[in-house]
Structure 1
């Protein structure tokens, strides 16, 4: 049997009940990680924990609103008490709002920025002492292809994901000599609950799929394998990078 790539590592995954978060948690468990899975959706979180436990993986679940500094502190205290260490932080939690500049409501803007941008910063801020103490840690922040290129819509979402990209880079520089690597992952059109209604309505005629050279939506497990590469020691010299997983969407 091949060695497990995350054997002995402790990983905290936010947004764990979404498509990408779930696929990442299940893959990390198969690769030997001890998991803390966090989300605001407590029922689905319990179901996910039961599925992971069925494969004899160690998992702890925690309710977490990533926009709350207090809740982040509570989750990190849980990690410290249960495991004493943290090796991998995967910030997946995110929300989307589709309107452009003029149609975006201020309260919607604030909520998207709070979850996607502020939540990523709060997570790194709260977790960094444990990550630095690990001496060989990885932070993976989930951005988007819409953190790289404009779309003419989704103003708040694009602003937040662009911020996650540069926040990851500056954190990578800050912690490069402290044993913490920081990278961002940029999914393209991925068939997850966040956009499933659009995909169900438009199918392969969805405009972004039509612009994707591979002419299909990606799968959550195809993002999870990218997360795994950045989490494990195979990526030991990779920090401050953007791992784009988009079927070629941003290649032209």
Structure 2
């Protein structure tokens, strides 16, 4: 069976944990060579070891980069092209949620600037250098490869919904990711470069669990989720795989919500059991 990303090259930022970790493993399972980018090199290297143990027929590169620095983002993309000759998938996934991010009255300017630097400007740079690389992709008809590629940008359900538990800088940065992704999708559509956003709902990942550091904070979120549970990183990774693959060849400029129904809810069900994640999620 040929994987959905066979012979393709993917770069994943934030590859050392959470969505980035699960997506990197899943992309490799589907045949991609993966460039694993993280500000924590040890975490990226651990992901590389997991992939090597499971899928020895694909290649990985673990590299350190701060996506808040343009030179680091460019260097990571350049490394992918130098090592593999092309870039087919760019997953701009790395992001932060600062514990001191609050509302318009109390969020400090340096927290705002840091959040925008990582979550919005970092995605812009990732898109910029991925587009430049994808424009130069060689065509290999024998392998079914074509010019262009797929760019996936991690946004959030809070880019669509307002919240009474404010995280203003984070929310604003993710709203910017949605708007930027739509515009880039339109501008570059006829180059064969697709740009889509992923909008995860509340997830059981370190990023959110560290932010929701009390049972009361967790319940405050879950009461609004129709499914009654936090999502799993692998559930977002499977959505990213769809957007990365040719299965989504007619999808661009989309805001892909994977959120347990939260953005569709006015009120949530009462009295229904809360089901655990399906056991088939493991890969």
Deviations 1:98-145 (A, max 9, x none): 311111011010000000000000111112121123314000000000
Superposed, 1:201-220 pairs within 5 Å as: 201-202=214-215, 206-220=219-233
Tell me the equivalent position of 1:187. Answer: 200
Instruction: Please give the secondary structure, in 2, of the residue aligned with 1:140.
Output: strand
Contact 2:196 2:253 in 1 (8 A): yes
Instruction: Please give the secondary structure, in 1, of the residue aligned with 2:199.
Output: strand
Taking the aligned partners of 2:130 and 2:148, their CA distance within structure 1 comes to 14
Contact 2:226 2:262 in 1 (8 A): yes
Flag the 1:67–1:233 CA change in 2: closer, same or farther, 3 A: same
Flag the 1:36–1:205 CA change in 2: closer, same or farther, 3 A: closer
Tell me the equivalent position of 2:121. Answer: 118
Shift in Å at residue 13 of structure 1?
0.3
The structure with the largest alpha-carbon Rg is 2
Taking the aligned partners of 1:108 and 1:200, their CA distance within structure 2 comes to 19
TM-score (norm 2): 0.86
Instruction: Please give the secondary structure, in 2, of the residue aligned with 1:195.
Output: helix
Contact 1:191 1:199 in 2 (8 A): no
Are residues 1:140 and 2:152 paired? yes
Aligned length: 251
Contact 1:204 1:216 in 2 (8 A): no
Deviations 1:220-249 (A, max 9, x none): 000000000000000000000011000000
Contact 2:23 2:237 in 1 (8 A): yes
Which one is further off, 234-243 or 195-204?
195-204
Taking the aligned partners of 1:111 and 1:205, their CA distance within structure 2 comes to 25
Shift in Å at residue 44 of structure 1?
1.1
Contact 1:39 1:45 in 2 (8 A): yes
Deviations 1:49-80 (A, max 9, x none): 11111121310011111111111221122112
Taking the aligned partners of 1:214 and 1:125, their CA distance within structure 2 comes to 37
* Backbone CA RMSD of aligned residues: 1.4
Contact 2:161 2:263 in 1 (8 A): yes
Instruction: Please give the secondary structure, in 2, of the residue aligned with 1:186.
Output: strand
Flag the 1:233–1:104 CA change in 2: closer, same or farther, 3 A: same
Q: Return 5+ residue gaps in structure 2 as ranges.
A: 138-146, 266-283
Taking the aligned partners of 2:169 and 2:210, their CA distance within structure 1 comes to 20
Q: Which runs of 4+ in 1 moved over 3 A?
A: 197-200
Flag the 1:205–1:71 CA change in 2: closer, same or farther, 3 A: closer
Instruction: Please give the secondary structure, in 2, of the residue aligned with 1:177.
Output: helix
Tell me the equivalent position of 1:196. Answer: 209
Taking the aligned partners of 2:126 and 2:69, their CA distance within structure 1 comes to 10
Are residues 1:127 and 2:130 paired? yes
TM-score (norm 1): 0.96
